[in-house]
């Protein structure tokens, strides 16, 4: 599969040949020197010019599959096959994003626009199979924020917690939740720092309080919610998910 991110195997060269085989070689002209310097850079520059468009196509593939996930269905053969396809796409997207970063740097808002920067974050967020790269992406996102004179934003918080959970550390922002097997709507927060401190950090980043955030997640997963407590209940209003209560 062609990825479109790397240049060819060799760089173009420029030879200034003598008029005949017996003549002494002549020094290249300034124009020839300039051309020789520019030509090897053209493939890389062309790839960097396509970064925003390529990131858009990569996130389209990412989201097209994830929109088909039924979180209430459980581990059916169809859902397991879908998850395997998602893992394949995630690995390919990670490979391509790493190539972009190596060749063009991290896709920042200042260089490629807000949509491209958000797309790069999303792909890094889904690179769970490559924790070292997620750490690298987190550092680059933090550096981009510092370079722009702005504090890290909510996307930084989401990836920071993702890395923390993978490393067995408490979350700082409380963005990562998990539901136990067989109970697809019983989401609870992964281990996190002191709750009051987490709420303070969330407020500083204009993120909703933890329980509001949990309720938003439940709504996104089409889970039934108790209107009083905001917590999941068993009143599904339709057939309960496969495996529920087992």
Q: What does the pLDDT look like over 70-88, one tens digit per residue?
A: 777 777 898 899 999 999 9
Helix (H, G, I), strand (E, B) or coil at 94: helix
The total of structural domains in the chain comes to 2
Is the pTM higher than 0.85? The answer reads: no
Helical H segments across the chain, by residue range = 30-38, 42-49, 51-66, 77-104, 109-112, 114-125, 131-148, 154-166, 195-204, 210-220
**In-domain check, residue 29:** no
Q: Are residues 71 and 118 in the same domain?
A: yes
Does one domain contain both 186 and 239? yes
Return the structure tokens found at 231: 């917590």
8 found inside a domain: no
Q: What is the pLDDT of residue 25?
A: 42
Helices vs strands, H then E, count in the chain: 10, 2
| 135 and 51 in a common domain | yes
Q: Is the dihedral angle over the CA atoms 148, 150, 154, 157 positive or is it negative?
A: positive
Same domain, 191 and 126: no
Question: For residue 41, is pLDDT > 70?
Answer: no
Whether residue 191 is contained in a domain is answered as yes
Question: 143 and 178: one domain?
Answer: no
Q: pLDDT tens, 209-220?
A: 999 999 999 998
pLDDT, residue 234, reads 44
Q: Which domain holds residue 193?
A: 172-246
CA angle 11, 15, 21 (to 5 degrees): 145
Asked, for residue 1, whether it belongs to a domain, the answer is no
Determine, yes or no, domain membership for 16: no
């Amino acid at each position: 599969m062609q990825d479109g991110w790397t240049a060819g195997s060799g760089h173009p060269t420029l030879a200034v040949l003598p008029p005949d085989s017996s003549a002494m070689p002549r020094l290249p002209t300034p124009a020839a020197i300039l051309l020789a310097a520019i030509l090897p850079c053209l493939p890389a520059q062309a790839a960097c010019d396509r970064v925003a468009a390529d990131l858009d196509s990569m996130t389209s593939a990412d989201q097209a599959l994830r929109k088909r996930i039924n979180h209430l269905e459980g581990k059916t053969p169809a859902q397991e096959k879908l998850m395997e396809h998602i893992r394949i796409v995630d690995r390919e997207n990670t490979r391509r994003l790493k190539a972009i970063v190596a060749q063009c740097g991290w896709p920042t808002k200042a260089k490629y626009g807000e949509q491209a920067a958000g797309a790069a974050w999303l792909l890094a967020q889904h690179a769970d199979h490559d924790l070292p790269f997620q750490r690298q992406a987190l550092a680059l996102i933090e550096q981009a924020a510092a370079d722009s004179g702005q504090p890290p934003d909510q996307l930084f918080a989401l990836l920071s917690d993702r890395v923390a959970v993978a490393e067995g550390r408490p979350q700082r922002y409380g963005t990562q939740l998990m539901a136990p097997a067989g109970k697809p709507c019983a989401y609870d927060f992964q281990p996190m720092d002191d709750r009051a401190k987490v709420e303070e950090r969330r407020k500083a980043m204009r993120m909703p309080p933890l329980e509001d955030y949990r309720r938003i997640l439940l709504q996104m997963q089409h889970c039934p919610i108790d209107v009083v407590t905001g917590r999941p209940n068993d009143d599904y209003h339709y057939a309960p998910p496969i495996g529920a209560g087992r």
